[in-house]
Amino acid sequence: MYLPSEKKKEFFETYGKGATDTGSAEGQIALFSFRVAHLTEHLKKNRKDYGTQRALISLVGKRRRLLDYLKDRDIERYRAIIKKLNLRR
**Mean per-residue pLDDT, 16-22:** 83
**Mean per-residue pLDDT, 73-89:** 91
Dist. CA 72–CA 52, nearest whole Å? 30
HSE of 79, CA atoms in CB hemisphere, 13 A: 3
pLDDT tens digit sequence for 20-31: 888 899 999 999
pLDDT tens digit sequence for 49-71: 999 999 999 999 999 999 999 99
- pTM of the predicted model as reported, rounded to 2 decimal places: 0.90
- Could you tell me the domains of the chain? 5-9+22-85 (1.10.287.10)
